[in-house]
Amino acid sequence: MSITKKLNQIKEAIPKEVTLVAVSKTQPETAIIEAYQAGQRIFGENKVQEMIAKQKNLPNDIQWHMIGHLQRNKVKYMASFVQLIHGVESFKVLQEINKQAQKHNRIIDCLLQLKIATETTKFGMQVQEAEKIINSEALINLKNIKITGLMGMATFTTDTATLNKEFTTLKSTFDHLKKIATAPNCKLQILSMGMSSDYKLAIACGSTMIRIGSSIFGNRN
């Protein structure tokens, strides 16, 4: 099946309030162009270098999301254009994003990545750390970033009960943090959870943004 067909199938299957991020990591630019021509504008990459290379060659109205694990020293390379950074794992990273965004006179939207999976390989912070960031006096001074939501990655499993538990936990954390957030640059609206294998369940559990790669572009090498 073509990329266009697969993209349209997913779009038809999800509520229109849910934002679809097409995860184009490792995919060639031709594949991105096909999705673009089918109307897709939001693409997610997990490596800064790869995202920069693609951004240079592809249409200007593409919104690039960084969905991968983020190294602080790479932030500067994407600060001029990145639309949303999903994987913020510490206050230090937020400070660096703020510093680089300031240089470009921009405000960069960020999601705090929460650890929801039991696997030790999954990145993210604990709820207490997120609370600390959201409540901190220092956050108010980061005028060039905005915390717009949370992101999480479930355990790599087909066990629905486990996935359901992890997504539900993240959703209640989201609701809780949303209530305690008072800083002007912290308004939790986006809950980024769900990938090719589990997005339907993620949406049922309250996801507002799904990150889909292989179900659109086929398997990665």
Applying CB under 6 A, the residues found at the interface with ligand PLP are 23, 25, 46, 67-68, 153, 195-197, 211-215
Burial of 178 (0-12, 13-18, 19+ CB in 10 A): middle
Q: Which long-range contacts (CB under 8 A, 24 or more apart) does 115-120 make?
A: 115/152, 116/152, 116/153, 116/154, 116/166, 116/167, 116/169, 116/170, 116/193, 117/152, 117/153, 117/154, 117/155, 117/156, 117/166, 118/155, 118/162, 119/155, 119/156
Shortest distance in whole angstroms from residue 67 CB to ligand PLP: 4
Shortest distance in whole angstroms from residue 157 CB to ligand PLP: 13
The distance of Cα 116 from the centroid of its chain, to the nearest Å, equals 15
Q: Which is nearer to ligand PLP, 50 or 102 (CB)?
A: 50
By beta-carbon distance, which residue lies closest to ligand PLP?
213
Shortest distance in whole angstroms from residue 77 CB to ligand PLP: 19
Structure tokens at 143: 């005028």
Q: Which is nearer to ligand PLP, 25 or 99 (CB)?
A: 25
Q: CA-to-CA distance for 91 and 35, rounded, in angstroms?
A: 35
Q: Which is nearer to ligand PLP, 46 or 173 (CB)?
A: 46
Shortest distance in whole angstroms from residue 105 CB to ligand PLP: 29
Q: Which is nearer to ligand PLP, 62 or 151 (CB)?
A: 151
Nearest to 144, CA basis, from 209, 75, 87, 60: 75
Q: Which is nearer to ligand PLP, 139 or 167 (CB)?
A: 167
Shortest distance in whole angstroms from residue 212 CB to ligand PLP: 5
Q: Which is nearer to ligand PLP, 24 or 173 (CB)?
A: 24
Shortest distance in whole angstroms from residue 48 CB to ligand PLP: 13
Q: What is the CA radius of gyration of the chain?
A: 17
Q: What are phi and psi for residue 75, nearest 5 degrees?
A: -60, -40
Confirm if 114 and 125 have CB atoms less than 8 A apart: yes
